[in-house]
Amino acid sequence: MSLSYRQPGVVLTDRRFTVPLDHADPAGETIELYAREVVASEKAGQDLPWLLYLQGGPGFGANRFVGRPAWLGRALKEYRVLLLDQRGTGASTPANRQTLPLRGGPAAQADYLTHFRADSIVRDCEAVRREVTGGAPWTVLGQSFGGFCTVSYLSLAPEGLSAALLTGGLPALDAHADDVYRAAYPRMERKNAAHYARYPQDVERVRRIADHLLQHEVTLPGGHRLTVEAFQTLGILLGTGDGSHRLHHLLEDAFVPTPHGPELSDAFQEQLQHQLSFAGHPLYALVHEAIYGQDHRPTAWSAERVRAEFPQFDAAKTLTGDGPLLLTGETIHPWMFDTDPALRPLRETAELLAARTDWTPLYDPARLAANEVPVAAAIYHDDLYVDTAHSLRTARAIRGLRTWVTDEFEHDGVRAGGPRVLDRLLALVRDEA
């Protein structure tokens, strides 16, 4: 039964859907999906076209907006919006250390998680669309991994789309995970350089924290073991518009004096726990590299292996000199399944996923080359999370796709830019720009 309620300026309706776990076996096991329908209060009774929002990730539930922030206010001027918790996230049959043991042991868990990639998400969307719109196509807005899913949508079920809008989410169609991370580490280095140029005082602060972690064992309040490598992953903040500033504020008061000498403050540790824990999004760690699995090669902890090709990220070596310590981000490593209590029970499951070679293709180059759906993509110049060159190559491979390449925003432009990003994309698909 659907439940409707109000927030400032909007009417929300909770929607639940039952879909097959494996869409190739529609009579088999099912899972539940959850979504929030959003409509402007003044338009609640109107017959409006639908816009489906696909969240970035993988592994994150859709935004829990209050009112009409960011892009949502612009969308609600003409659409009824569906915010879908992709399978395994949010309230859609969650997949985590508590629920996955219901599947059985690690092998059964890994088999189960093979159904949590973009192709299954697209099939979910099609099942939901038929129920929600009565079969009419809808517009899809895909942010980051949501954009990857949208390219899969254009490959697998373009008949379900009236338009496709992508922000920071044009994937390489044929790159292995190794190719993705070989392109990523140099971007990380550039983001570090820009941060330290903006906040030169952070060079010494980061070095001091890293040196402390090399000499002391630190366990955060939630049980997370804080290693130097875990601390370095704070670099993921550098991919957002305000991330450099947030990182700087985080580092400002890391130490307090104690009878035993300087120690990392409780406040600093609490903030690190919130930033580093995967408790709220374990699928991000479990299937992150699997979103690049297509060519019968294992991903095999790609980010960890490729990192060895970039020794400038080695903290111990850096601290023997006087240069800045480089932070990382948007990478998953096997040691995370030892340091994070939310991931520890899933280590063997993650190992099995990293070793799999039976990944099916996620994109259809021939179908994309013949695309007839209006498509527009915002490509953020030097995006930390998605390689610009990969995105531009894919843009050329999708017939009719119009690009907006900008350095005004980082990866989170659709949030930080308010209505402007969505305005621009809609103008592009409508040939108004």
Q: What are the catalytic residues?
A: 144, 358, 411
Q: Can the peptide bond before residue 259 be classed as cis, meaning omega within 30 degrees of 0?
A: no
Long-range contacts of the stretch 265-269 (C-beta < 8 A, 24+): 266/221, 269/218, 269/220, 269/221, 269/226
Q: What angle do CA 290, 184, 117 make, to 5 degrees?
A: 20
Q: Which residue do the tokens 């190794």 mark?
A: 178
| Rounded Cα distance, 34 and 18, in Å | 9
Alpha helices in 27-95 (DSSP H): 72-75
Q: What angle do CA 72, 76, 80 make, to 5 degrees?
A: 110
Q: Which residue do the tokens 């399978």 mark?
A: 87
- What six digits make up the tokens of 383? 């995006």
Give the length of the chain. Answer: 433
Residue pair 212/227 in contact by the 8 Å Cβ criterion? no
Of 366, 249, 381, 356, whose CA–CA distance to 301 is shortest?
356
Of 203, 150, 20, whose CA–CA distance to 425 is shortest?
150
Q: What angle do CA 174, 110, 180 make, to 5 degrees?
A: 25
- What six digits make up the tokens of 119? 């192709």
| Rounded Cα distance, 59 and 287, in Å | 8
| Rounded Cα distance, 59 and 236, in Å | 16
| Rounded Cα distance, 70 and 88, in Å | 25
